[in-house]
Amino acid sequence: MNTSKGTAAMIVEPAAEFRGLTQEAVTAALADPDPNNRIACEVARLVGCYTQNFKAHCDRMGRVPASILVSKPGTAIEAVAMNLVTEVIRQEIAKE
């Protein structure tokens, strides 16, 4: 992904088959040790996309913002993925 200044964030949505999952189902899938778990793989894809969007945002601003504004998730799988990204970002900022 090009993260140069002026690059718009990509639109990120879960695949249709995962949109009706409950947060409990997503959390249970993340606890599954199977690396091919399709739900966990979708969460990983979403986390990667959200992270790229945040990096592009920081690149455009020229800094990491003091606060992290996260859009309201439309589905449970998005909520889990956004929470994971937010926690990682907070941990990284706390290290600085």
What pLDDT is stored for residue 7 in this prediction? 61
Q: Which domain holds residue 26?
A: 21-95
Q: Is residue 81 part of a domain?
A: yes
Model confidence pLDDT, tens digit, residues 20-54:
999 999 999 999 999 999 999 999 999 999 988 88
Distance CA 96, CA 85 (A): 17
What pLDDT is stored for residue 55 in this prediction? 85
Q: Is residue 3 part of a domain?
A: no
Residue 68 has pLDDT above 90, yes or no: no
Distance CA 22, CA 14 (A): 13
What pLDDT is stored for residue 70 in this prediction? 63
Q: Are 81 and 50 in contact (CB under 8 A)?
A: yes
Band (pLDDT 50/70/90 cuts) for residue 3 is very low
Average predicted confidence (pLDDT) for the chain: 85
Number of domains within the chain: 1
